[in-house]
Amino acid sequence: MEQNFSEQELLRRESLAKIRELGIDPYPAALYPVNASAQSVAEGFDAEKNNMQDVCLAGRLMSRRIMGAASFAELQDESGRIQLYLNRDEICPGEDKTMYNTVFKKLMDIGDIIGVKGFAFLTKTGQLSIHVKELTLLSKSLRVLPIVKEQDGKVFDAFSDPELRYRQRYVDLIVNPQVRDVFIKRSKIIAVMREYFNQAGCLEVETPILQSIPGGATARPFITHHNALDIDLYMRIANELYLKRLIVGGYNGVYEFAKDFRNEGMDKTHNPEFTCMEIYVAYKDYLWMMEFVEKMLEKISVAVNGTTKVTIGEHTVDFKAPYRRLPILEAIKEYAGVDVKGMDVEQLRATCKQLNVEIEPSMGKGKLIDAIFGAYCEDKLIDPTFIIDYPVEMSPLTKRHRNDPTLTERFELFVCGKELANAYSELNDPIDQFERFEEQAKLKSNGDDEAMFIDMDFVRALEYGMPPTSGLGMGIDRLTMFMTGQTTIQDVLFFPQMRPKTSL
């Protein structure tokens, strides 16, 4: 693979060679005794107390102003930036001034990782700074950072091109601090959810990623081959059926943050590899789960943003409970102006044609209803809204509605026109489950490659008896988008999937 270097990058390699010639290791392996950060100094320094007189920080050199025997610089670590003050005679107290005159002034570059020891103080202009007594090169940077510059109100060298940012996320994180904040919030979202589930008495578990049958969702799987067993396996599209097996086994509540994989299209809200949280709680139903989810999202929003109100694109969304509950057939009547209740497949096809909804010949009743809902309803659901009571054909793993056997006890939560969560009163009748699997098999034979496989081991598990259970699946990537105000899934994934490049 080719490596293409700019003139500046070639100069950096020459500097690297000269540093080595001076007997300095540009990539030392020894422990560096960091005891402070930019943030801890900013929050803890008290000029009257004259504290923080022995601090050690490490980070990237992000700017330099050389003024003869004294210089100012800026160090960036994980927590932020802080100014450095360097004096030649203090860094090099003896006759040898090489570290300052040659290494710092001539051979170090923006982006180098350095360590400094010294004390905190305020400059004459009141700027908090570190008075450096000792300077160490910890890692030489050979590539030039795209440092943002402003001149006459115009911005230059901003690292803002989306493709470059996603391909070189490491650079994005260095030069765009707001990007780091998104991923800190993502981690906090997961931590809050984990604490919430644990307090509810649920157990975090792990289930297989490689599966002999890709179950739990209607989606096209990735296929791989296991050499030792000489069988094809599928990368999981969902972890639902394994988690339900654990409920059969006697756990009252289980959850998993799972990497799932679907061999489908990519766009601003879909990546082939994504993170989904699924939770299953015995002796509960979908009505209980709606309240459970409302309280959780309210808690997450306050923990991450300090408020239940979040700006998402042009909308301000309030995650404060309770949320509207709207039956899907009522939603279609409200937004599409047609009543599809009781329609058969041919009537639904005619309705789709009348409404100019694109459909495929392989679509059954469930997908036709879903197509109408997607075309006319989804983008109207801005505030958090539970769409409930889906027709049986749309929900092959869901318990039939207690008041209407043509419907199921299912909800999907929509925010800003996008699905955020999917939940059921789980189907625990093994005979009904087998019949619905057979219906899915018919759809598959008619060309629907997203229809479910028949999982006879799961049917067998249900035959041993599964208690009434409520289950929920929620996309962590999409939740992070909402909670951080991002509009594309690529902005909440460290390394989104992209077509590889052949050169560096």
Q: What is the pTM of this model?
A: 0.90
Q: How far is CA 86 from CA 21, 22, 72, in A?
A: 24, 21, 6
The reported pLDDT for the residue numbered 442 is: 83
Q: Is 278 exposed, middle or buried (0-12, 13-18, 19+ CB in 10 A)?
A: buried
Long-range interactions of 339-348: CB distance < 8 A, separation 24+: 340/369, 340/372, 348/372
Euclidean distance between CA atoms 395 and 440, whole angstroms:
10
- With the CA atoms of 332, 338, 339 and 343 taken in that order, what torsion angle do they form, in degrees rounded to the nearest 10? -100
3 state DSSP class of 129: strand
The reported pLDDT for the residue numbered 151 is: 60
How much is the average pLDDT of 13-23?
Answer: 97
Euclidean distance between CA atoms 472 and 461, whole angstroms:
20
Least confident stretch, 40-44, 50-54, 344-348, 437-441: 437-441
Asked if the model's pLDDT at residue 1 lies above 80, the reply is no
Euclidean distance between CA atoms 417 and 228, whole angstroms:
45
Q: Which residues contact 14 (CB under 8 A, 6 or more apart)?
A: none
The reported pLDDT for the residue numbered 54 is: 96
Q: Diameter of the chain by CA atoms?
A: 93
- Kindly give the residue spans of alpha helices, DSSP state H, lying in 306-344: 328-336
Asked if the model's pLDDT at residue 419 lies above 80, the reply is yes
All domains in the chain, ordered by first residue: 7-145 (2.40.50.140), 177-323+383-492 (3.30.930.10)
Q: Which residues contact 446 (CB under 8 A, 6 or more apart)?
A: 362, 364
The reported pLDDT for the residue numbered 241 is: 94
Q: Which tokens belong to 270?
A: 């879909």
Q: Which residues contact 403 (CB under 8 A, 6 or more apart)?
A: none
Q: Which tokens belong to 218?
A: 């209607």
The reported pLDDT for the residue numbered 149 is: 66
Listing DSSP states for 57-126 in one string gives: EEEEEEEEEEETTEEEEEEEETTEEEEEEEEHHHHS-SS--HIIIIIIIII--TT-EEEEEEEEEE-TT-
Is the Cβ–Cβ distance between 203 and 250 less than 8 Å?
no
- Residue 167 β-bridge partners: none
pLDDT band at 336 (very low <50, low <70, confident <90, very high): very high
Interval 259-288: pLDDT, tens: 999 999 888 889 999 999 999 999 999 999
> Does 322 sit behind a cis peptide bond, omega within 30 degrees of 0 on the bond before it?
yes
DSSP state of 492: G
Interval 114-167: pLDDT, tens: 999 999 999 999 999 999 999 999 999 999 999 776 666 665 567 889 999 999
3 state DSSP class of 479: helix
Looking up tokens 């999202």, which residue turns up?
297
Nearest Cα to 36, choosing from 118, 137, 110? 118
Rg (CA), the chain: 29
Asked if the model's pLDDT at residue 432 lies above 60, the reply is yes
Listing DSSP states for 142-180 in one string gives: -S-----EEETTEEES----HHHHHHTHHHHHHH-HHHH
Is the Cβ–Cβ distance between 26 and 14 less than 8 Å?
no
Q: Which phi-psi region, left, alpha or beta, contains residue 416 (left: φ > 0; alpha: ψ -120 to 50)?
A: left
Interval 449-476: pLDDT, tens: 777 788 999 999 999 999 999 999 999 9
Q: Is 68 exposed, middle or buried (0-12, 13-18, 19+ CB in 10 A)?
A: exposed
Pairing of strands 253-261, 273-282: antiparallel
Interval 351-376: pLDDT, tens: 999 999 999 988 889 899 999 999 99
Mean pLDDT of the chain: 93
Share of the chain above pLDDT 70, in %: 97
Interval 208-237: pLDDT, tens: 999 998 888 878 999 999 999 999 999 999
Least confident stretch, 24-38, 79-93, 116-130, 357-371: 357-371
The reported pLDDT for the residue numbered 323 is: 98
Asked if the model's pLDDT at residue 201 lies above 80, the reply is yes
Euclidean distance between CA atoms 431 and 100, whole angstroms:
79
pLDDT band at 71 (very low <50, low <70, confident <90, very high): very high
Is the Cβ–Cβ distance between 426 and 397 less than 8 Å?
yes
The reported pLDDT for the residue numbered 504 is: 61
Q: Which tokens belong to 150?
A: 């402003």
